[in-house]
Amino acid sequence: MNFNVILFFGFVAILLLALGWTLRRPQRHKRLQTEADSLEGGGQRHIAYLPQIRQAFAKSDYEFLSKNVPPDVLRRVRRERRHVAVAYLAALREDFQSLLRMARVIAVLSPELDAIHEFERLRLTAKFAWQYEMIRWRLLAGVAPVPQLNGLSEFEWKLE
């Protein structure tokens, strides 16, 4: 097989995979009106739990525990902190999805769209999805040590 054949076969394979993907996942036929209700939500519900998350990831807590509790308890703490981190990630994603849904409802019901805004949102969605999966897998695989996530405690929600 020469390069040309591989090129066209590859292209068709990508098209068929994309076709299968779009047809396989059932569309969520939510009524637009129901979706429009989310306009009121604002899409930042989980960010309200940031203080608790900060507490869960406080470096001082972890240092105190590492000096005062047996290793098996410390391991358990690490595991639970990891679960908290994964749950927090999922919550962030939920916030993101909620905002996306809101943006889509507005786009669907608009007489005109600005391509720049739409592409920007697509770019942000792709970036978020990529980073989310990377961090999640690193956490689940134990590659990202939980104390490293102390970056969380320094978060500032700029839009508040």
Under DSSP, the state recorded for 47 is: G
Task: Tell whether residue 154 is a contact of another protein (CB under 8 A).
Answer: yes
Cα-trace Rg, the chain: 21
Which residue's CB is nearer to another protein, number 69 or number 123? 123
- Per CB under 8 A, the list member of 8, 49, 64, 137 interacting with another protein is 8
Structure tokens at 90: 């999922």
User: Could you tell me if 111 and 54 are in contact, meaning their C-beta atoms sit under 8 angstroms apart?
Assistant: no
State the amino acid at position 139 in one-letter form. Answer: L
Task: Tell whether residue 86 is a contact of another protein (CB under 8 A).
Answer: no
User: Could you tell me if 81 and 57 are in contact, meaning their C-beta atoms sit under 8 angstroms apart?
Assistant: yes
x/- contact string, 38-77, with another protein (CB under 8 A)? -----xx---------------------------------
Q: Could you tell me which stretch among 60-68, 76-84, 123-131 binds another protein (CB under 8 A)?
A: 123-131
Separation in Å, CA 144 to CA 32, 56, 114, 130, 153: 40, 16, 39, 16, 16
- CA–CA distance, 69 with 73 (Å, rounded to integer): 6
Q: Work out how close the CB of 52 gets to another protein at its nearest, in angstroms, rounded to a whole number.
A: 16
> Interface with another protein by CB under 8 A: which residues?
2, 4-5, 7-9, 11-12, 15-16, 18-19, 22-23, 25, 27-30, 32, 43-44, 89, 92, 95-96, 99-104, 106-115, 117-118, 120-122, 124-125, 127-128, 131-132, 134-135, 148-152, 154-155, 157-159
